[in-house]
Amino acid sequence: MNTDSLKKNDILELTFIDMSYEGKGVAKVDGYPIFVEGGITGETALVKLDRVEKKYAFGRITELLIPSQDRAYVKSKDLALNSTIPLQHVSYSRQLELKTKIVEDAFKKDPMFKNVLVNHIIGAENEWHYRNKTQVPVRKVDDAMEIGVFKHNSHQLIPVNNFKINALGIDEIVVGIRDILVEFNEKPYDARTNTGNIRHIIVRHGQNTGEVMVVLVTRSKSLFPQSKIVPAIAALSDNIVSIVHNVNPHKTAAIMGPESKVVYGKDTFKEVILENTYEVTAESFLQVNTPQAEVLYQTLLDTLQLDGTEVVLDAYSGIGTISLSLAQRAKEVIGIEIVEEAVIVAVKNAEINDVSNISFIAGDVIEGIKELSLKPDVVVVDPPRKGLESSFIDDVIALSPEKIAYVSCNPATLVRDLKPFVSAGYSIDSVQPVDMFPQTTHIESIVLLVKSSI
């Protein structure tokens, strides 16, 4: 077939030979790749082309001719439109194979790492109802206040009341809050005009404590009548220990604004991870899958094999969840975190757990590493998706720790960042992916680097 003749709305019979890192089925016509939402390796389908570019095309299945044995029942077509759970049509065992392959492929793309062994991903016990946090937009749909998800690559809200992956009880609280706001005539936010008031409903849940925090994000400082709305929300569950009113007046994609006020209960909720108790604020980062966070941190500890004599640096330490886990096995732990509020919470969490062999530096990791009074034997990094700054990598190499553990949520930036460490004499001892986010394509990985003895 002459691929130059392909055009939008063409219908082709295709067999998928692979799946992309985004979970799309991949077919080829004379070497020309076509990416198809909902396709699984080995399936044959009629595909309608939605977008045709010079080097690739995108399409959607109009008729599935030969389904895969790995095809699973789709629990929510609405969430498929949003790409919230883009792998829901794939059996969980096949999802784990795909995610392992995604990490393997990321390493194989670089000649330096073509022989690196990637361990099979550690799967989650619960593939549904695992999220301890939800952030739900509120908009007007057909003259009614609705909660839901945005259609992929748009600002169109698709009404959803059951998000499938939230911990049991969270969705019911969100729906209850929506109904209370409707009862008291609050107005949903309109992003086009920056009018209306209720922007997001956030619910956070301590899966090992049961405690629940509610955050209402509004455009204005008004929440009227607060004296009635807040008690009504608090009455939705005996587990609600905190209600926070956050104000975001700006026309922005950012969910939360700079101003928060506690309107019920306390300013934190508690969670327990690996026997440590954590106070968590509305703004605090916490892994959204508590059981798998315990698996991730335990795997990190097992990988490092600390003997109690080490000084450990934990870069990007947040509220101290990794730091306090490390402190159970290390001589001393030093955390560096740029968000000052997170450092305050981390110090409090150390006090709560009576951990004294730990300290925290508030500041950027690039500056914080220069303030170290002790040379670390082990460095642990858990950066955001963009990965590490090259100057920070240079500073870590200059410290010459015996071990470096890289906890990554992005295989591409992980591989990129590992190259200078390996060039400096470190070897990759192990690569262990962990599935924190079933039904999605997101992956966490732990890589252990060991300094060469030569």
Q: For 302-351, how does the pLDDT look when each residue is reduced to its tens digit (9 = 90+)?
A: 999 999 999 999 999 999 999 999 999 999 999 999 999 999 999 999 99
Closest CA to 423 of 402, 451, 382: 451
Per-residue pLDDT of 41-70, as tens digits, reads 999 999 999 999 999 999 999 999 999 999
Per-residue pLDDT of 228-247, as tens digits, reads 999 999 999 999 999 999 99
**So what's the pLDDT on residue 432?**
98
What distance in Å separates the CA atoms of residue 403 and residue 307, rounded to the nearest whole number? Answer: 13
**So what's the pLDDT on residue 5?**
87
Supply the pTM of this predicted model.
Answer: 0.95
Residues of the chain with CATH 3.40.50.150: 287-451
CATH architecture of 133-273: Beta Barrel (2.40)
What distance in Å separates the CA atoms of residue 105 and residue 20, rounded to the nearest whole number? Answer: 10
Cα angle, residue 87 at apex, residues 19 and 386 outer, rounded to 5°: 75
Q: Which CATH number is associated with domain 3-66?
A: 2.40.50.140
- What mean pLDDT do residues 159-187 have? 97
Strand ranges, E, within 142-239: 144-150, 157-159, 198-205, 212-218
Residues of the chain with CATH 2.40.50.140: 3-66
Q: Judge contact between 314 and 336, C-beta under 8 A.
A: yes
What distance in Å separates the CA atoms of residue 53 and residue 62, rounded to the nearest whole number? Answer: 20
Q: Judge contact between 263 and 215, C-beta under 8 A.
A: no
454 pLDDT above the threshold of 60: no
Residues of the chain with CATH 2.40.50.1070: 133-273
Cα angle, residue 284 at apex, residues 395 and 224 outer, rounded to 5°: 150
Helix/strand/coil percentages in the chain, nearest 5: 25, 30, 40
Q: In terms of pLDDT, which residue wins out, 3 or 203?
A: 203
Cα angle, residue 148 at apex, residues 278 and 384 outer, rounded to 5°: 45
- Fold for the domain defined by 287-451: Rossmann fold (3.40.50)
2 pLDDT above the threshold of 70: no
| Active site positions, annotated | 409
Assigned token pair, 445: 């990985």
What distance in Å separates the CA atoms of residue 322 and residue 343, rounded to the nearest whole number? Answer: 13
What distance in Å separates the CA atoms of residue 136 and residue 171, rounded to the nearest whole number? Answer: 10
- What mean pLDDT do residues 106-117 have? 96
